[in-house]
Amino acid sequence: MKKVQFNSNLSPFLFIAPQLVIILVFLYWPIFQTFTDAFTAQDPFGFSKTFVGFDNFELVITDPAYLRSLKFTLIYIFVITLVTGLLGLLLAVQANSVIHGKSAYKTLLIWPYAIAPAVVGVTANYFFSERLGLLYSFFNDLWGFNWMDNVSDAYIYVMIAGSWKQISANFIFFLAGL
Instruction: Give the model confidence (pLDDT) of 8-61 as tens digits.
Output: 677 788 889 999 999 999 999 999 999 998 999 988 886 788 899 999 999 999
pTM score, two decimals?
0.66
- Do 40 and 104 lie in one domain? The reply is no
- Do 118 and 161 lie in one domain? The reply is yes
User: Which residue range is the domain that position 19 belongs to?
Assistant: 11-61
Q: How far apart are CA 103 and CA 27, in angstroms?
A: 42
- pLDDT surpasses 90 at 157: no
Of 61, 78, 96, the position where a domain reaches its end is 61
Q: How far apart are CA 18 and CA 133, in angstroms?
A: 52
Q: 7: pLDDT confidence band, cut at 50, 70 and 90?
A: low
Residue with the bigger pLDDT between 2 and 52: it is 52
State which amino acid sits at residue 168: S
**Residues 6+ positions from 35 with CB-CB distance below 8 Å:** none
